[in-house]
Structures are given as C-alpha cells and as structure tokens.
Structure 1
Amino acid sequence: MHAKLTKISELRELKSLQELYLKDWPKHCVGYFWLDNYIRWQKKVTLKHLTFYTLQNDWRSDGLFILVHRYQLFFSNLSREKTPQLREALELLDWSVGYKVSAIHETHNNVYKQLIVERQLCLEREMNTKFYSMPCEKAKLMKISCPSGYYLDKVRLEHAVLINELWPARHAGSLKLIELLIEHNTSVGLYEQETGQLCAWCLRLQSGFLGALQVLETHQRRGFAAVVAAAISQKIAKELEQDVTALVSMDNAPAARVFEKLHFTLNAGEHYYWSMCLPHKGDTINWPDKQ
C-alpha cells in the first residue's frame, strides 16, 4: 500500500498538533507559531487556499505536518534528524506550482534541498538567517521611548502598498500577504504627528517572527527601528502572552544590532532558511488576489 498525504481539517486536531510543539520549549516554537497563526486566522476569515497535510493521517507520533497557504509552504516534524517520513511526505506534494518556503530549520532545509536537486527544480532565491528570541515576561518589561513629534499605533491597511514596495523580500503575490498580516496580526507603526506619515514599521509574520522591519530612508539613523521593534515585542508579549522571535539575514548587520541593542538572545547554531522554488515550467509565482 502506497503512502499518501492526508488532510488535517478538524480544528481540535490542529490544536492538539500545536500542543505537541510545546515539547522542549522553545526548541519547536516556530512550528507552534505557524499553527497558532493559522488557527487564529481561521477563526476570523475563510481561507480558501489553506491546507494542512500529514502522512497517512499520522501527525500524533512525530508532529509531522505540511502547511500550504496560497504559495507559502512550511513543514516540520519533532524529531528533525529522523526525517524519512518527512521526506516521503514532501515527495508526495505537488511541485508543479512553486512555493515560497519560509522559516525552515536547517535540518529540515537539508531534506528539502536534496529533493530540489533530485527533481531538478529551480531555486530563485535562498537566504540563511540568525535566530533571536526574547521570553514573554522579559518583553513585557521593555521600556518604550517614543521620540518627540511622533506617535506609535498599529499599521493601517492603507499603507500595505508602501510596505510591500520597500520590503526587501518582496515578490509576486506578497502584497496580499502584507495585507493579511496587517489585518490579522500584531503590528506597530511610528507616525509623524504633524503629517500623519508612517515613518517606520514592523509586522508579525505567520511564523511568529518579527518581519518587514523598515524605516523610510528619510528617517534612518535615528533609532526608529529599535523603537518599533521594542513596541511590537511588548505588544505581542502583553496581548498574546507569547515569546518574541526574530530572524535576521546573516549579512544584515544593522538589523542584528537592533536586536542586540534590545537585549534579544542570539540562539547560536540555530539557523532558519527561506527560499523561492519556481514552478516546473520556470514561470513566476503569482497569486496576487487570493487568500
């Protein structure tokens, strides 16, 4: 009998799967946050292009799941090094479409890269990152110092185009992603009081990581990135009662300095990857309007 991918559709099963990822906290926190994000989203909005898969309906033994939302792909299991079942599940996925593979632990990324090479698929981009974290209770105590002439507020949907245009990770379909993050996740923007202009911002990604941390070029070198990063960290801790995490590209020294300044802990040796895997035909991934 051939193995097959099966869907996890029941909310109670997804919650039970999520609880498995509390094991050895915070080792598996990324898988926990992915599940937490989409469980919360599904309570607010109908996501027609969201599917959770596992292998042979057996997610209980090792927490194995594959999440596909639009073109976003995430996968995980608890054993990490023991990956035959994860490899088997990934082989059964439809690779004719193309995916943005996000926040994948390096042990899982090794399995994924082997599959990409064997299937002669094309990686358009790939990035290795460093992992920073801060416990919830510490984040609650962060001191927020808003500069004179500015105020902090959540990011508004009207700013999605601006944020997407300046996002270094921008790609076909990312505008809709930014809109979903603004609508459903924690965000913080720094606004100029006199003009109402959005000058700096930070969003919380589906993986739980802080993302799209950006400052307008006209307002850089004034410490604004640290202001919004501290503000969103405190907000996540107080409103969601969750730890705060951030990924920083290996070559992004300015961003690393922001989180070191805020006394985040660098989890040495913990690396996460993201990449763009193109469709078989080499076409550009493009899901701009679907959620």
Structure 2
Amino acid sequence: MLAIARDQWRLLRDLYQSDRTNLTGYDLINSFICLSECGENVEIYVTDANWPKHGSFLLVHSFGNKAEIHLNTLGESLDQLQLLLSSWQLNKRHLFCGYEIRFKHVVEQYWLGKGLSLGQLEHQGTLVYHLPHSEIKQLDLGPISDIKLGSLHIKHAAAVDAHWPYCSNDSLLLIRNLIQHNISAGAFDSEGQLLGWCLRSSHGSLSNLYVLPPHRRRGLASLLVRFMAQEIAATGAEVLATIVFDNEISRKLFDKLGFKHIQDIYWAVVPAS
C-alpha cells in the first residue's frame, strides 16, 4: 500500500477524464486536490507503482473525529481495491462515500475483516441524476421578484448545518469547507436574509438543497437548482445531483427540470474500533 505524492494526483484525476458523470472520478479527485492545497488532511493510497494502468485508489479525508473514504478503479477486477482495504487500518469512525453497486462486495469484505457482522451493515442508497449541457441552455432562468441569488458566505455555514438531516458534531467543518472551496448558491430577500440554499458536494453533485419553511411554494428550490446548473456547467463539469431513494419531493423537482436518473450509489458508516 502506497500513498501517492500530491504532485501525482492530477495524473490519477486525468485517468477518469473520459467520464465526468462518475461521482468518484475526475471531479472528486480535483475537489480534493484543492482541499489539500488549503491544508486539509487528505491522502490517496494505491497498491503499487502500476496504478496508472488500473486507476485503483483509496482517498481518505480526515476531519474532526471521523474520516470520509472514497474508492474507485478503472479495471474490471476488484482485486486491487480489495487488497488496498485489507492492508489499511483506521480506528476512528469512517464513512464509505458514494460507491457503485459493484463495490458492495468490497465494502462487505472489509466490514467482515473488522470482525463486524453483515447484519449490522447498511448500504444506504442514493439516486444520481444528470442534466446534460444541452438541457441547461433550455432552462428558464427568469428571476423571482425581490429574490437575489448569490454565493454563500462562511457565516451561513451554521444555518446550513443546522437544517441538514445528517448534522453531527463534525458536520459543521464539512459544510464550511464546501462553502469556502466549491460553488454554492443562496436565495436572499431584499434585506439580505437567507431564505434557501444549495451546495456542491466534494463529489461534484448538487447537495444540501433546502428552503426555509415560511418561504416554500415560491419556486426557490427550482431557482437555486437552475442557478447552480448554470454555474457548474460554466466550469466544463457535468451537472449531477444525489437524492435519497425515498425523497419523492426532490425527485419530482429534478424530473420536472429535465434531470435523468443515471445510476444508484451507496454509503456505509463504519463504527470506531
């Protein structure tokens, strides 16, 4: 197991250039290149010096008392990923983020290797939606009266975190990082009060879409998504969104805007040893 030097991360990123809808590919690695340059604790591990041939990697982002784990491979065989996980130890609580269905078995074998029962493992599913660039040009970007759109400021992080269903002792730091280092959008009233928001996750997908209850049914969620789609597309990246399986309201919103369901990905929380 080897840690790739940071000056090699762009080479790994570029191996995934051909599929920008891959949420654990190009845009994910590029996001963490930026985070590492800002002092974040990020490491990328491979099995051997032949990694440019198979592109197998394990990306670990540690913050607070937990870590986020991202993994992928360009090869058909999962042996390299299995070898990576079997030779890697992390005692703090960690989260496997956004892995494809074909990697479920790899996560399960890692889980068993830690002496845990598969009955305790939950593969939490998420839908991946995609909006092609050709569709973005057709979006109605007309404003809503008395509403101004703009990027979020670090001062808004606490409000975003407080309304996030996955809020935890460590999540505020994550939200602050997303606002500081990625595209975001806020809907503000004429007095500058924040009414709703949308972030872009480390994966590159739309996330944390939320409108405060008193201001719903005005089209603010749709406006935020359309604004974010335009901003992301301007960077050359694909516009993607992740939605938990049972969130029917969000699914209807994204369907109406022209997004298409392209994939399912999964998340798993591993308790501290």
Instruction: Compute the TM-score of the two structures, normalised by the length of structure 2.
Output: 0.91
Q: Does 1:30 align with 2:50?
A: no
- Whether contact under 8 Å (2:185, 2:228) holds in the other structure is yes
What is the RMSD computed on CA atoms of the aligned residues? 1.9
Query: What does the per-residue CA deviation read over 1:167-217, in whole Å, with 9 as the maximum and x for residues that have no partner?
Result: 112223110010010011000010111x32111111000001111111112
Distance 2:24 2:106 in 1: 17
Correspondences of 1:158-237 after superposition (within 5 Å): 158-193=155-190, 195-237=191-233
- Whether contact under 8 Å (2:21, 2:240) holds in the other structure is no
Distance 2:111 2:137 in 1: 42
Distance 1:27 1:102 in 2: 16
Correspondences of 1:1-291 after superposition (within 5 Å): 5-11=1-7, 13-23=8-18, 25-26=19-20, 28-43=22-37, 45-47=38-40, 49-70=41-62, 71-79=67-75, 81-121=76-116, 126-193=123-190, 195-238=191-234, 240-267=235-262, 270-280=263-273
Query: What does the per-residue CA deviation read over 1:135-175, in whole Å, with 9 as the maximum and x for residues that have no partner?
Result: 33543553323211111010111110110011112223110
- Paired amino acid for 1:265: K
Instruction: Give the drift of 1:56.
Output: 1.9
Distance 1:136 1:200 in 2: 25
Distance 2:83 2:51 in 1: 14
Structure 1: runs of 5 or more not aligned: 281-291
Q: Which secondary structure state, in structure 1, belongs to the residue aligned with residue 230 of structure 2?
A: helix
Distance 1:50 1:39 in 2: 9
Task: Rate the CA distance shift 1:77–1:31 in 2: closer, same or farther, 3 A.
Answer: same
- Whether contact under 8 Å (1:22, 1:29) holds in the other structure is no
Q: Which secondary structure state, in structure 2, belongs to the residue aligned with residue 266 of structure 1?
A: strand
Q: Which secondary structure state, in structure 1, belongs to the residue aligned with residue 53 of structure 2?
A: coil
- Paired amino acid for 1:247: T
Distance 1:26 1:51 in 2: 22
Distance 2:241 2:207 in 1: 7
Distance 2:153 2:116 in 1: 38
